[in-house]
Amino acid sequence: MSSQIYHAIARRKLNTLQSLIPKNWLLDPLPEPLPLDVRPLVPKSTVLTPDELSITSSHDVTSLSQLIHSRALTSEAITTAFCKRAAIAQQLTNCLSEILFLPAIERAQALDAEYKRTGKTRGPLHGIPISLKDTYNIKGYDSSIGMASLAENPAKENAALVDILLEQGAVLYCKTNVSQTLMALDSHNHLFGRVMNPRNRRVTAGGSSGGEGALVAMRGSVLGIGTDIGGSVRIPAMCNGLYSIKPSSQRLPFMGQEIGQLPGIDKLGLQASAGLMTTSVRDCELFLKAIADANPWEKDPNVAFGSWEGQGEIRRKPLFGVLRADGITTPLPPVAKVLYETVEALRTAGFEVVEINAPGFKKYHSLANSFFGMGGFNHTFDLLERTGEPLIPWLDTRLRRKSPADLMQLSELHVRKSTLEKEMLGIWRDEKGRMIDALICPVAPHPVPEIDRWNGVGYTSAFVVLDYPAGTLPVRDVSNDDLMDELPESDVLGGWDSRNRDLCKLSSFVSPIILSCTPLLHVLNTWFPLPSGVEAVVNPVLQDYTDPSKTGHPNTNDRSVYLNTKLSVQVVAPRLQERRLYQAMALIDEVLHGASSESP
């Protein structure tokens, strides 16, 4: 089929999106060239008033909610500020897919009036603007998930979580950009283009909830909702230096989303989770408690009954476990180092951390991938072919139509899954039989990599197979020192490990000496190279920067690319114990960053 159809849809879709940004919220012209870190452009522009800059820069949901409650701020003021900042974020990072600014501000006014009239807020989310991944249906808006054939087909009803957020008084003001098919770890598609990482345009913003990650990192949102079936919340959270929690699949309502899959197939394999990204660890608790208090099991039959208080806890003197490697890809030195530092910080603070030996962990990578491929991708290709839409380049070399798995094969996958689930129960006890309160491990075997170079999802997908709640916690920025160490060549574990090591190979033109010269590198990095062969329809505002004719560089293998990114750790708790996970994250966060509750 002619590619004209998807081109036309993409053009209309992008035009509509652009048209919903008020003219006086446009950064016109955009600075050229854009800097590596676009975040400082926000205070430099005149779009936000000083108050709006302060509202969006200096608060988390917890403090905004207190300010609404004490009548120091209105929802209208907060919503307007975040709409404006989201508009700026969109212009700089391509992070949005649907814009609801006008109805959002009207709703905020109505919520303010309600509070004035009744003297009661609806709870901690009253008046708080919350952004959602494009997958969540909002009545009257597309859930195109970046695919032309799903565009221009507004949802007829709200997702269950959307209904709950509205009941709780949240203000929905935008939906965010994703990866085509949701199966790529870069948020890139032919409808809206590629989401750029605001703090370092050379590295990926992650996916598939990459629009959320970039938007929250731009502080165009104070709390973003994504979904995670391989790492799609935790990966963009790591890429954008955010806190995140992927709960167990039955914790937050997932029902009522467009996920681009054959309807019902999701029940045969791995269960995806709704998850959240925040700027403070305490907001994770605020949000998860608010949803639990709303009886979500009355809206989505897949949600497990249970109050927030019933979701586990760490002991007064918790015991931590550390899982340093998955046996498939050895973490690169900066990743190993930040894990080491986290463990040492806990030990220094008086907590015991034991080494976890989990040989079963290496089996998760291929098992998760078998589940992901069980449908043979036929629904995906059907959707694409309907409008002549090609795969994005990263997927083009990876996705092929296959025969779907049959009942015997599906059953066999579940036997493997059950065997591993049972085996992994053992990681929650140390050799002395003591209970491990929470597990700490890498989010990925590499730092935030260049665009389209995320290498495998084993460290995150394992906890989807296991359905354990897992969160990410930003620890600190990459330093020059982090880039000096080498892994021994003799220990290469296999193909995944070899590709992973490519991510820290030194190129000939960047020596360790240059690495210590950060200001120079900032200039070098102003232009980011795209992988060759990228031919995507992109946001025209950003076209200059994603036009391959202007780049065409190969991947640089320049370690300096990792400067201006955050190093994170992953924290994990047993299934359906989200409160235990949160308490562990809060404790680790306090040990690492002190009592500060804002993202470091």
Active site residues: 133, 208, 232
| 236 touches 474 (CB < 8 A) | no
Nearer Cβ to a copy of itself (4/307): 307
User: Which secondary structure element, helix H or strand E, spans residue 12, and what is its range?
Assistant: helix 4-19
Nearer Cβ to a copy of itself (268/354): 268
The length of the chain is 600
Least Å distance, CB 160 to a copy of itself, is: 9
Least Å distance, CB 13 to a copy of itself, is: 28
Which amino acid does the sequence have at 377?
A: F
DSSP secondary structure, 466-492, as one string: TT--EEEEEEEE--TGGGS----GGG-
| 178 touches 135 (CB < 8 A) | yes
Nearer Cβ to a copy of itself (195/576): 576
Per the annotation, does 229 bind a ligand? yes
DSSP secondary structure, 240-287, as one string: TT-EEEE--TTTS---SB--SS-TTGGGGSPPPEEEEEESSHHHHHHH
**Inter-CA distances, 144 with 48, 131, 190, 543, Å:** 30, 16, 11, 21
Per the annotation, does 231 bind a ligand? yes
Q: Token match 């960053």: residue? A: 593
Q: How many CA atoms lie within 13 A of 88 on its CB side?
A: 30
Nearer Cβ to a copy of itself (74/311): 311
Q: Whose CA is closest to 37, among 549, 537, 526, 443?
A: 526
Task: Give contact residues for a copy of itself (rule: CB under 8 A).
Answer: 250, 255, 262-265, 267-268, 297-302, 304-307, 310-312, 374-375, 404-408, 410-415, 417-418, 421-422, 424-425, 428, 466, 574-577
Check residue 119 and report its DSSP letter: S
Nearer Cβ to a copy of itself (307/543): 307
Using DSSP's 3-state secondary structure scheme, residue 438 falls into strand
Least Å distance, CB 413 to a copy of itself, is: 7
Q: How many CA atoms lie within 13 A of 465 on its CB side?
A: 32
Q: For residue 33, is the peptide bond before it cis, meaning its omega torsion is within 30 degrees of 0?
A: yes
Distant-in-sequence, close-in-space partners of 590: CB < 8 Å, separation ≥ 6: none
Nearer Cβ to a copy of itself (73/424): 424
Least Å distance, CB 305 to a copy of itself, is: 4
Phi, psi of 14, rounded to the nearest 5 degrees: -70, -40
Per the annotation, does 307 bind a ligand? no
DSSP secondary structure, 364-392, as one string: HHHHHHHHHTTTTTHHHHHHHHTTTPPPP
Using DSSP's 3-state secondary structure scheme, residue 121 falls into coil
Least Å distance, CB 358 to a copy of itself, is: 14
Least Å distance, CB 424 to a copy of itself, is: 8
User: Which secondary structure element, helix H or strand E, spans residue 571, and what is its range?
Assistant: strand 566-572
Distant-in-sequence, close-in-space partners of 257: CB < 8 Å, separation ≥ 6: 135, 136, 137, 143, 159, 227
Least Å distance, CB 420 to a copy of itself, is: 9
* Sign of the CA dihedral running 171, 301, 249, 151: negative
Percent helix, strand and coil across the chain, each rounded to 5?
Answer: 40, 10, 45
Least Å distance, CB 581 to a copy of itself, is: 11
**Inter-CA distances, 48 with 61, 213, 221, Å:** 19, 21, 14
Nearer Cβ to a copy of itself (228/578): 578
Least Å distance, CB 487 to a copy of itself, is: 33
Nearer Cβ to a copy of itself (299/593): 299
Nearer Cβ to a copy of itself (402/553): 402
| 480 touches 337 (CB < 8 A) | no
Q: Annotated binding site for substrate: which residue ranges?
A: 182, 208, 229-232
